[in-house]
Amino acid sequence: MISDAIETTQCQQKDPVDLFHSGHFVKICAPMVRYSKLAFRTLVRKYNCDLCYTPMIIAADFVRSVKARDSEFTTSKGDRPLIVQFAANEAQVLSDAARIVCPFADGIDLNCGCPQRIHDDLKRTVDLCQKAEATGVSWITVHGRNIEERHQPVHYDAIKIIKQNTSIPIVANGDVKTLKDAENIHHMTGTDGVMVARGLLANPAMFAGYEETPLKCIQDWVDIALEHGTPFTCFHHHLMYMMERITSKQEKKVFNVLSSTSAVLDYLNDHYGV
Ligand SMILES: Cc1cc2nc3c(=O)[nH]c(=O)nc-3n(C[C@H](O)[C@H](O)[C@H](O)COP(=O)(O)O)c2cc1C
C-alpha cells in the first residue's frame, strides 16, 4: 500500500540504469499479472534477481481510485530496484500515474506488449525502437515473437539486430528457463540483460544457478508468503508452478486440489519436511 510504504521506501531510490553500466548481464523478473507481486519479488531477489517489475497496472484506474492503488501496488524497504509497469493509452494519464508512484519506484515501464512485439517486417520494429530511444527511454525489453506466435521458438536473431541498431540497453525476453540459457542468449544477441517470466515461476532460484526449484526455495516461499499475508490462491498457485517439475502426476492430483493454507502446509511437511 502506498500509504504504508511512505516512511520505509521513499529515500531508497536506486538508478536501475546503473545496473546496465556495471558491466554484468542484468537478470530481471518480468511483469506478470497476478504473480510478480511483492512476496514473489522478495523471493526472487533472494536468489540473485537484480531487478523486478510489478504486474501490469492500468494507469487510468491507478490515478482515479485509491482502492485500485492500494490493491494493485504494494512495496517495502527491500523491494528495490523496482520498475512499475503501466498500461496506458493517454500520455497525460501515464504521466499522472508515474507522478503518484515515483517516490516508491526506480522506474516506470510502459507495456507496449501483446500483440505489438516484434513485427514481421523487422525494419518496422527497429524503427519503433529507434523512435523510443529518441524520446529518451532508458532501455527497451524485446520479447522475440510476433503477433501470431505463442509457442514457436523466439527470434533471438531479431533481438540481436535491434541491439545492433540502437545505443541504449536492450533486454532479451522469451523462453529463458535456466541461467545457462540466459548466458547463451547474452552471447548470441549481445544484449545487456535478460527478462524471465515463466522460467522464474517454475524455478524462482534459477538466477542463482539452480536447474530446478530447491526445497530451500519452497521453504522460503512459504515463509515469505505467510509473512506477507498472501491470499491462499496466489500462495497455492505459486507452489504449483514451483513444484511442477519435481512432483509426479499422482502427487499433483492431490496437491493441486488442496483448498486451505493448513492443508498445503501439512502436505509440504509430510512429503518434503518443509
Ligand atoms: C502469468 C503471466 C503474466 C504476465 N503478465 C504480464 C504483464 O503484466 N505485463 C507484460 O508486459 N507481460 C506480461 N506477461 C508476459 C511476460 O512478461 C513475458 O513477456 C512472456 O511470458 C515471455 O517470457 P517467458 O518466456 O520468460 O515467459 C505475462 C506472462 C505470464 C506467464
Cα separation, 183 vs 180, whole angstroms: 5
CATH topology of domain 2-208: TIM Barrel (3.20.20)
Query: Is 114 a known active-site residue?
Result: yes
- Give CA separation, 230 vs 98, 162, 238, in Å: 26, 39, 11
Catalytic residue chosen out of the listed positions 114, 129, 217, 234: 114
85 C-alpha to ligand 1 centroid (Å)? 12
Q: Is it the case that residue 13 has pLDDT exceeding 50?
A: yes
Residue 8: pLDDT band (50, 70, 90) is very low
The whole-number pLDDT of residue 92 equals: 98
Query: 244-262, pLDDT tens digit by residue?
Result: 988 999 999 999 999 999 9
**pLDDT tens digits for range 123-152:** 999 999 999 999 999 999 999 998 888 889
* Atom of ligand 1 lying closest to residue 198 CA: 27
- Residue-wise pLDDT for 70-80, tens only, equals 999 999 999 99
Cis-peptide, bond into residue 153, ω within 30° of zero: no
User: 173 in helix, strand or coil?
Assistant: strand
- pLDDT of 114 reads 60
Please report which helix (H) or strand (E) contains residue 83, including its range. Answer: strand 82-87
Instruction: Give the CA radius of gyration of the chain.
Output: 19
Per-residue pLDDT, 86: 97
Mean pLDDT for the stretch of residues 52-74: 96
Within 6 Å (CB) of ligand 1, which residues are found?
Answer: 30-33, 35, 55-56, 85, 111, 113, 143, 173-176, 196-199
**Looking only at Cα atoms, what is the longest distance across the chain?**
57
Q: What are the residue boundaries of the structural domains of the chain, listed by start?
A: 2-208, 215-272
Could you tell me what percent of the chain has a pLDDT over 90?
85
Nearest CA to ligand 1 atom 3: 32
Residue 7 has pLDDT above 60, yes or no: no
Render pLDDT for 94-126 as a digit per residue (tens, 0 to 9).
999 999 999 999 999 999 876 568 898 999 999
Residue 65's region, left for phi above 0, alpha for psi from -120 to 50, else beta, is: beta
Is the pLDDT confidence value at 11 over 70?
A: no
DSSP string, 222-233: HHHHHHTT--HH
Average pLDDT over residues 34-44: 98
pLDDT of 6 over the 70 cut? no
C-alpha dist (Å) from residue 228 to 37, 39, 160, 224: 10, 6, 40, 6
Backbone angles phi, psi at 85, to 5 degrees: -95, 130
Mean pLDDT for the chain overall: 93
Can you name the residues that pair with 142 across neighbouring β-strands?
172
Contact of 14 with 81, CB cutoff 8 Å: yes
Closest CA to 224 of 246, 207, 214, 239: 239
